[in-house]
Structure 1
Amino acid sequence: MIELTLSATEVAIEPGRTAQLEVTITNLQEYEDHVALEIEGIDAEWYALPVPAVTLAPGGSRSAGVIFRVSRSSDVAAGAYPFLVRVKGMETGEVGVHQASLTVKSYSALQMEIEPKRATSSLFCRAPIYDIRITNLGNAPETLDMSCQDPDDHFAYEFETDRIELRPGATVTVGMRTEPRSRPSIGSARLYQFNVMARSANDAYVAATVHGQVEQKAALSTVTASVMLLLAILGIGWWALRPRPVMVRSFTADQEQVVAGSPVTLAWDIENLGDRTYISPGSIAVRTAVGSVVVKPETTTVYTLTARGGGRNAVREITIEVTPKPPPPKARIIAFRADHTRIHPGDVVTLSWQVTGARQLVLNPIGELNPRMDRSRQVMPETTTTYVLSAGGEDQDVVMKSITVDVVPPNTSVAEILGFRADPATIQAGQTAKLKWTVTNAASVEIDNGIGAQLKASDGFDVMPATTTVYTLRAADSKGNVVSKQVTVTVNPPDPTSLPPQAPGSVP
């Protein structure tokens, strides 16, 4: 078992800066393991793993850091992003999982532009119209109230809409009508400055301002006043009866990024609606000043609202980005294992698995499982049984893996000696040989001839017998059933050529 603890389950981060999470990994197994650290559920560019894997001795513990960094961009929306911290033993396959959440803090940034920067208010164009373009450069939605003022309070300002909603990264254009409160009958032109402000309805410190100018011209000069008097009377009559120019207050879509074939609602609000107003492509007729229509684009489409009325054309566009429908995910059985594959009748075996992309999961001979909830199942077979795990995905393909659990009689040991050998098997007197063994499902392991009891399940021991010796390895399971295996180390006499030379006169 691998234990996983986090320094915090919620990590808050400010866009453009970093945050760190400390992960402590403890190896509760009896074996040394190489443990890999993984993060799932968030964009891989949002985090870095300075130490992606550690090697832990039995009972050992070590900390590893996860460094988070998200860009300061409107593409990264403020909010909580749940993720999983997963560690996996590369040697034993043991897995530890912990859930946490990354909270991206919000920040505000607005940009405003005005077009034209300067307009003229004259007798024949009393109320010039400006287009105010506001862009939300922050990562959170903004509700903005529009206002405008000039130091002399000489003009009245009317917006298409006084309050706008902006998603992160979105841009909206608001029409502003500028009309003088009074106009001199005779005199020279005068230039006025005004400030247009968009201020957050929720935070007064979040605001953007743009400056504009309007030049007001007098109706008449002193020389032509008498001549223009008649024209002024005629002009007043025309002014009272003039057609109002069409103005598109809004043209919006409920979503601008959709999957092919998904419905999108286009809505509009038009002032002074005239004839021949339509939305293309499709030449969708617009017959009401306020309304909506549902479209289902199959590819990325630019929808254009063309409004005519009062001698003016107003055009608004919305781009709907369409992504292809993703292919159905394929089912994969990443792992299917049993904690014991050789047992006695009545013993419990835990089957565990890791499956992705599965819509249907069946474990034979157990039955159907929940692919989202079930991760393991305990079984108690009375006879040798083969368990088959079948996973089916949305593409109707089925993948399978199987495990066989051998059930042996109660008086038969479930312990298995996978290997017991001497290296080398033949030595000369005075040399050493290494006994090597690997045992599974054993409660105790011992070797005679003085090597000892309570040995590790997999280990080695150096021996130097004086004569040929037979070593017997005995492994007992939890019920005391014993299985044994022998290995012989053959000892040959020393090579005569390797003996030291005798002294002169000595008797051999």
Structure 2
Amino acid sequence: MAGKVEVTMAPTSFVVAAGDTAEATATLHNQGQTVDQLTISIDGLDPGWYSIPVSSVALFPNDQDKLKILIHPPKKAETKAGSYPFRVNVTSQENPAEITTVDLLVEIRALPEMEVSISPQRVVGHKGIYKVAINNKSSSDALVRLRASDVQGKLRYNLEPEIFTVPGSGHSEATLEVRLGWLDFFGGSKEFDFEVLVASPEGQFAEDTKVITGQLVRKTWYRSFPSIRLPRIRLRWLERPPVINTFKASMEDKREFMLDWVVKRATEVKLDDEVVSPEGERLVRPAEPTSYVLVAANKYGSVSRTVELKPAPLPVAKTSERIRASLMPAHFQTYAGGTPVEATLQLQNLGEIVDKFMVEVEGLDESWYSRSASSMALMPQATDQVQILLNPPKKKGVKSKTYPFAVTVRSQSAPEEATTVVAELEVQPSVEFKLGVHPYRVSCRRKGTFQVTLANTGVSDASLYLDSTDLDEGLKFRFKNDNPEVISWKTIETPMVARPKRGSMVGEKKRYDITIRATTADGNTQSVNAELYHNPFIGSWRPILRVIRAVLVIAVIGVLIYFVLQWGGGWRTLTSSPQTWVNQLVNTVEGWFFR
């Protein structure tokens, strides 16, 4: 076989990160004297790490063709960094005992190694500006997300940017503004500790997470007067026209687009003559090339911006006198990342000569399907079949809906002769989500606020119901939105306020263990835990009761002294003639008992 089939691989080694995809091309050359069907397979590599869109090809003598091999190690905790050798085997249908092999090597890059620092570590004042620096020691780029929080919930944060990419062996910085809330502006000197969490946006591995701490020190409020500066009012700012900061379209797939816009200083914003909010997004499905116009206006002027969208055309059936093709069935249903469904393509050569027919799939990404053969050689009036496995991956961008596609069979001898059959692939709905909360621990006097994070990791939009309880049933809960709608592959945050039922003035310090639950329409429930520390203004009624008792005792003693003075003749008698006052007091007392 080594003398009849030549196999060339390019490249022969790969360097790829977990979750990414690398591509190799296998060039197969039939050096024999007969038509042969060649099949490609892989040994030594986990089947979930690779896919072969076309695993078999028919070659005439001295003919050659190219097949693609996609290497995509999954981003899981089990995927370790290192080198993984494997082998590509090419088997002849004419003589299966003879196999041509090519050795390849794939190297999995390690997770990014990052050093994180914050400068300055400590700021004195009611507001602090910090620089968060990230050094990426690895050779690959790293996408990171920053999040700041504190246990007491007294601080307010502004991160710019919040999500950014750190280049390989490079350095990036973010600006963090930390300030006190208005209720905490007054008071003596106090230290407020906070932490900055640095992780990947997915947060899938614990190794991704780095934590750094900082401190904001509040100084006595009246010492801040010298640093207060009144804002300078510029009337020219009032006369500026609106600004469209962002108006762009991101492609969900080849036929769906997400329009996203941000407008400032506008009294009215219109998208194609429809009034919209100054900041928002919209999913559109144009059937043909379409222009979308965003217009922002105020009394000082108007601006506009246009986005051109060119969707992929819908497949159309086509017939040929030399080729007959049919696909059974015409409608397929499957789950993303689930069991593949098989489609059978029936081919017949209606011509009068031996011909080779190319099988092409249009409208679907190459990673969604695989063919038993990309070409087929047929005698006149001969019939054969090609098996097509449809398996849409479970990844960002794949949604629960119907995807139209087409299979085209084209003659190699007459490329203008082609037959196209159309079909539909329906991705079944599957609701999956992740529930989170930050900060985990909050200390408060009247109420505590938590941010509930909902990440939709499925292909379907999720309608969730939020509720919360505590073991002691001592809290009242309120969500800003207790029935949120989360778009597939999107993440949202909704605030939750927990308020103790007992008073905020008097009582002992108490910890409440909180359970937050999110439930889907079909009853799938997830829960997370949090803690609320309630610190009333006064720890107990005892000091107040002691003060009241002392006041009553003093009042009784004062009243008694007043009456004793009156019984002796009054204060003047006591000061002018003490003996007379004593005699009169004795006579008054004796009169009570010896009348």
| TM bucket, shorter chain | 0.3 to 0.5
Structure of higher CA gyration radius: 1
Q: State the TM-score, normalizing by the size of structure 1.
A: 0.42
TM-score, length of structure 2 as denominator length: 0.36
